[in-house]
Amino acid sequence: MSLLDTLRRSLRSRALLAPELEDRLQALSERAPPPTRNPHRKSRYVTVDVETTGLDMHRDKLVSIGAVSVVGGAIDLAGCFDLVLRQDESSSHANILIHRIGGQRQLAGIERAEALLQFMEYVSHAPLVAYRAEFDRTVLDRALKETLGVGTMSRWIDLADLLPALYPSNENRTMDDWLAAMAIRMIARHDALSDALATAQMLQVCLHKADALQMTCPQHLIEMTRAQNWLGKR
């Protein structure tokens, strides 16, 4: 039984995909995950942010995904990921005012299965990085399981957990606090790609600090995130 079959059985998926999508998903599931013990300069991270039809991560629909690769500590500006998923009906006017993705763009977006598979192929099992990652992870995992029958397949690093561990004497509590402290300019708030790009710049600062503290590889950051989350420190 393949990894894809095992994952699908464990999730009791009912997803029915076109053969071409099934083949791509199968190829992705058979791809070996990248080593997590390589130094940061030889590792790839993917920062991610999502926009949704509301604030309920367990019910509201995924509208857009933005993601940015950080390879060897450098942001790959030429290879950013940004798409809008097609909606059966556009979200409310109040919701559109927040993320500024108009009704026509939502109705003309990329089909859900294709969009999510493109995202999975872009990530290619690299560690996923977000600020307050629980929201992004829950929304993405729910959409992926409902549509493709699998979760994100990646380890997650939450900067809201990691930053206090790297800077224990700092009193910053929000992403905006940290952005201001790091002198990082947010291009457009509540835009998935803009938020992912800001997160990528925060990650660059984290990687430099982590190296100085002998946290030299993705596995160290994953373990620290898990430890901080378990301790309830944010």
Residue 14 lies in a domain: no
Residue 130 lies in a domain: yes
Residue 227 lies in a domain: yes
Residue 150 lies in a domain: yes
Question: What percent of the chain has pLDDT above 70?
Answer: 91
Residue 183 lies in a domain: yes
Q: Which CATH number fits the domain that encloses residue 145?
A: 3.30.420.10
Report the alpha-carbon angle 201-137-183, nearest 5: 20
Quote the pTM value: 0.90
pLDDT digits (tens, 9 = 90+) for 131-162: 999 999 999 999 999 999 999 999 999 999 99
Residue 204 lies in a domain: yes
Residue 179 lies in a domain: yes
pLDDT digits (tens, 9 = 90+) for 100-131: 898 898 999 999 999 999 999 999 999 999 99
**In which domain, by residue range, is 176 found?**
40-231
Report the number of distinct structural domains present in the chain: 1
CB neighbours of 104 closer than 8 A, spacing ≥ 6?
90
Q: What is the pLDDT of residue 231?
A: 60
